[in-house]
Structure 1
Amino acid sequence: MTIMEDRAVELQERIQLPRSIRLRLTRNGMTLVPITQAHLTTQRRILNQIEERLPGWTGVGEFGVVPPREGYSPEPDVSAVPSDKFLDSASKFPEDLLRFVVEIVSPESEERDYSTKADHYALRGIEAYLVVNVLTGRWTLLTRPEDGSYRHTETGTFGEKIEIPVDDQTLVLDSSQFVRVVRA
């Protein structure tokens, strides 16, 4: 990291924001991210399904991925780590513990969720990347990372099952439990 990136991370950690807003450090600077109830509910439901359906793994949310690469440490909405490697005091997890990550789309993050973040997760060798778009009611599962890109894509609508490979298991998520943003 450069000196300026270190200072930006330090500033990010010091800023006090309401619970309904998160501050994200991206390649393009700091971004305020409003968190919708659809986002929070969907995140919670995915974490619950991980706990119920993926023996030997513990669901984690809102954490940093280390080490930083190209001055960037992504902060996925959901993932899982092997239960024997889970630390309840951790706010960051090494990329080699993560077999999949999930990003839940917010209005300001939609473009990054499908492009920039996909590239970063593929570069890290994370085997599966799920984008849950609560704005459109659709999901996209990217798998088979190679040379910094995912080579396989599956898409579907809320209501369909999503099968995510996790070592010698398959996590099956029920996307009918996801919540879509309803625009008035």
Structure 2
Amino acid sequence: MTIAEDRAVELQEQIRLPRSMRLRLTRNGLTLVPITQAHWTTQRRIASQIEERLPGWTAVGEFSVIPPREGYSPEPDVSAVPSDQVLPDASKFQEDLLRFVVEVVSPESEERDYSTKSDHYALRGIEAYLVVNVLTARWTLLTRPQGGTYRHAVTGDFGEKIEIPVEDQTLVLDSSQFMRV
């Protein structure tokens, strides 16, 4: 990380924002992100389904993926880590613990969620990346990372089941529970 990036991360940690806003460090600098009810509800429902349907794993959210790559540590909305790897004070998780990540699209993040973040997660070797678009009521599951890109994509509408491979299990999410803006 450069000195400017270190300073931006430090500043981001010091700023107090309302719970309805997030501050994101992107390639373009710090971005203020409003959190809609559809985003928050969908994120929470995905985490609940992970807890119910993926034995041995714990849903996590609002964390940084480490190590930083190209000066960037993505912050997925939801993921899961092996339950025995969860520490109560953890706010960062090593990329090799993550088998999949989920991003819930916000109006300001749509382009990043489909391109920049996809590239970053694939580069890290994260096996599956789910983009849940509450603006269009559609989802996209990207799998088979190779050379910094995902080689396979499946899309669907809210209401369809989403099957995410997680080691020797398959997490099945019910997208009919997701909320649309």
Q: Distance in 2 between matches of 1:110 and 1:174?
A: 22
Query: Could you tell me which amino acid in structure 2 is paired with residue 147 of structure 1?
Result: G
Q: What are structure 2's unaligned runs of at least 5 residues?
A: none
Deviation of 1:143 (Å): 0.1
User: Which residue number corresponds to residue 167 of structure 2?
Assistant: 167
The question of 1:59 aligning with 2:68 is answered no
* AA matched with 1:118: S
Deviations 1:58-116 (Å, cap 9, x if unpaired)?
A: 00011100000000000000000000101121000000000000000000000000000
For the pair 1:138 / 2:138, whether they are aligned, the reply is: yes
Corresponding position of 2:20: 20
Residue 44 of structure 2 corresponds to 44
Deviations 1:9-34 (A, max 9, x none): 00000011111000000111110000
Structure 1 residue 8: Cα displacement:
0.4
Give 1:156's aligned residue.
156
Give distance in 1, aligned partners of 2:71 and 2:18.
26
Q: Distance between the aligned counterparts of 2:39 and 2:107, measured in 1?
A: 11
Q: RMSD over aligned Cα, in angstroms?
A: 0.4
1:82 partner amino acid: P
Q: What amino acid sits opposite 1:62 in the alignment?
A: E
C-alpha distance in 1, partners of 2:110/2:9?
Answer: 23
Q: Superposition pairs for residues 104-115 of structure 1, below 5 Å? A: 104-115=104-115
Cα distance in structure 2, aligned partners of 1:127 and 1:88: 25
TM-score by length of 2: 0.99
Matched residue, 1:98:
98
2:10 aligned partner: 10
Q: Sequence identity of aligned pairs in percent?
A: 85
- State the secondary structure of the residue aligned to 1:59: strand
Structure 1 residue runs of 5 or longer lacking an equivalent are none
Dislocated runs of 4+, deviation >3 Å: none
